[in-house]
């Protein structure tokens, strides 16, 4: 940390006391000080290249104006838009987001929370979806406000901001039904994620209601590779189904890859629907039919909820559900007549 200019150096330069400099440079107290002196102080500060030390200020004021944002994986394209939403809401309000990529690992996540706590963030936005999260109870006791984004996290009574998973799945099922599909598969994410579970359960129920058969297979991670792997074994079993709904676009991407490798045409022989409408879902081949989740809005709303907790000094386990919409692209089509797609 290269030695930086301090208040007292500015004070000496301007020939006033540090307190005066502090007042002159702080917009809120600027009016207190003589206009001429203030100008002199400002000039001195500029000449010296003064940059306030925000840590010293925070130490004194007991407020950091920061919020810790914990996400499981920055390289997952659904998170950058959420982050953008958060920052866009925070910045005009004087808050700064401190980002932490936990890499999906519980250990790193623990250290992320610790590291951010050491920085005395005023609150957290947590987008990691592990249920039974070991840290949340600890955090809760410490009284720091937390908002859960995108995924719930079990028993802790924190506000949760999420897309409408049920509605999204319903829309997907309706779409498939209209296209004549009767036998479908749901590629679920790890059931330790609340969203994965909700989507899977809703899928089963919605299919029942619609009079469709639905089989659920579970991927061990929300990645394209896992989606591919699961689909490989699925196709090897030569079951009868004509459509696959994946819990996540990344999983759906893996499904698409597997189909391609198996020489199965999508959507002619197999329809595929994802979830999230992540950036570039449109570019997949074929363009992915999916449920659009308002990712940036989730970020914005999470930040808003956190600010609310901050100002009210308390929070309730409110759930904010944002509307989703089905985006029909090229990966879904009429169900093949025979319905024996995997048995040529």
Partner DNA sequence: ATGAAAGCGCTAACAG
Partner DNA sequence: CTGTTAGCGCTTTCAT
Q: Tell me if 299 sits within 8 A of 84, measured CB to CB.
A: yes
H/E element, 102:
none
Binding of a copy of itself by 226 (CB under 8 A): no
Binds a copy of itself (CB under 8 A): choice among 38, 44, 83, 176:
83
Q: Which residues pair with 185 in a beta bridge?
A: 215, 244
Nearest to 324 by CA among 254, 282, 275, 265: 275
40 CB-near residues (< 8 Å, 6+ apart):
14, 15, 16
Q: Which is nearer to a copy of itself, 112 or 130 (CB)?
A: 112
Question: Pick from DNA, a copy of itself, none: which does 117 bind, CB < 5 to 8 A by kind?
Answer: a copy of itself
Helix axes 35-48, 18-25, angle to 10 degrees: 90
Q: Which is nearer to a copy of itself, 52 or 339 (CB)?
A: 52
**DSSP for 29-65?**
TGGGS-HHHHHHHHHHHHHHT----HHHHHHHHT---
Q: Tell me if 296 sits within 8 A of 85, measured CB to CB.
A: yes
Question: Pick from DNA, a copy of itself, none: which does 279 bind, CB < 5 to 8 A by kind?
Answer: a copy of itself
Work out how close the CB of 256 gets to DNA at its nearest, in angstroms, rounded to a whole number.
52
Site for DNA, rule CB under 7 A: 3-4, 6-8, 16-20, 22-23, 25-26, 29, 32-38, 50, 52-53, 56-57, 59-62
Work out how close the CB of 295 gets to a copy of itself at its nearest, in angstroms, rounded to a whole number.
10
Work out how close the CB of 160 gets to a copy of itself at its nearest, in angstroms, rounded to a whole number.
21
CB atoms within 10 A of CB 326: 18
Q: Tell me if 332 sits within 8 A of 267, measured CB to CB.
A: yes
Which of positions 171-190 make contact with a copy of itself (CB under 8 A)?
Answer: none
277 CB-near residues (< 8 Å, 6+ apart):
249, 290, 291, 292, 293, 327
Q: Which is nearer to DNA, 29 or 191 (CB)?
A: 29
Tokens linked to 86: 């958060």
Window of 22-30, 83-91, 156-164, 228-236 that interacts with a copy of itself by CB under 8 A: 83-91
CB atoms within 10 A of CB 39: 13
Binds a copy of itself (CB under 8 A): choice among 30, 84, 110, 308:
84
Measure the CA–CA gap between 147 and 126, rounded to whole angstroms.
6
Which of positions 20-59 make contact with a copy of itself (CB under 8 A)?
Answer: 49, 51-56, 58-59
Question: Pick from DNA, a copy of itself, none: which does 114 bind, CB < 5 to 8 A by kind?
Answer: a copy of itself
Question: Pick from DNA, a copy of itself, none: which does 16 bind, CB < 5 to 8 A by kind?
Answer: DNA
Binding of a copy of itself by 87 (CB under 8 A): yes
Residues at the site binding a copy of itself, with contacts judged by CB under 8 A = 1-4, 49, 51-56, 58-59, 62-64, 74-75, 77, 80-81, 83-84, 87, 96, 98-99, 101, 114-115, 117-120, 122, 138, 141-144, 253, 256, 279-280, 283-287
């Amino acid at each position: 940390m290269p030695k930086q200019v301090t208040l007292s150096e500015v004070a000496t330069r301007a020939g006033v006391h540090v307190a005066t400099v502090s007042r002159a440079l702080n917009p809120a107290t600027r009016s207190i000080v003589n206009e001429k002196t203030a100008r002199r102080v400002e000039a001195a500060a500029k000449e010296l290249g003064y940059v306030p030390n925000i840590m010293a200020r925070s130490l004194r004021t007991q407020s950091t104006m920061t919020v810790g944002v914990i996400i499981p994986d920055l390289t997952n394209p659904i998170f950058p838009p959420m982050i953008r939403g958060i920052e866009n809401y925070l910045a005009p309000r004087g808050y700064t987001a401190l980002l932490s990529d936990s890499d999906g690992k519980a250990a790193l996540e623990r250290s992320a929370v610790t590291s951010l706590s050491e920085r005395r963030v005023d609150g957290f936005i947590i987008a990691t979806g592990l249920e039974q999260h070991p840290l949340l109870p600890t955090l809760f006791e410490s009284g720091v406000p937390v908002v859960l984004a995108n995924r719930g996290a079990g028993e802790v009574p924190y506000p949760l901001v999420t897309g409408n998973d049920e509605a999204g799945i319903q829309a997907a099922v309706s779409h498939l039904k209209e296209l004549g599909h009767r036998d479908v598969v749901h590629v679920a994410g790890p059931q330790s994620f609340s969203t994965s579970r909700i989507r899977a359960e809703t899928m089963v129920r919605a299919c029942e209601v619609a009079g469709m058969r639905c089989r659920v297979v579970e991927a061990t991670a929300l990645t394209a590779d896992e989606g591919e792997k699961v689909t490989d074994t699925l196709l090897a079993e030569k079951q009868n189904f004509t459509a696959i709904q994946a819990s996540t676009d990344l999983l759906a991407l893996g499904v698409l890859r597997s189909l391609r490798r198996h020489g199965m045409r999508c959507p002619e022989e197999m329809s595929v629907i994802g979830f999230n409408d992540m950036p570039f879902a449109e570019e997949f081949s074929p363009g992915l039919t999916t449920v659009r989740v308002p990712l940036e809005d989730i970020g914005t709303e999470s930040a808003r909820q956190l600010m609310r907790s901050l100002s009210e000094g308390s929070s309730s386990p409110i759930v904010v559900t944002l509307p989703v919409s089905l985006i029909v692209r090229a990966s879904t089509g009429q169900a093949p007549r025979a319905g024996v797609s995997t048995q040529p």
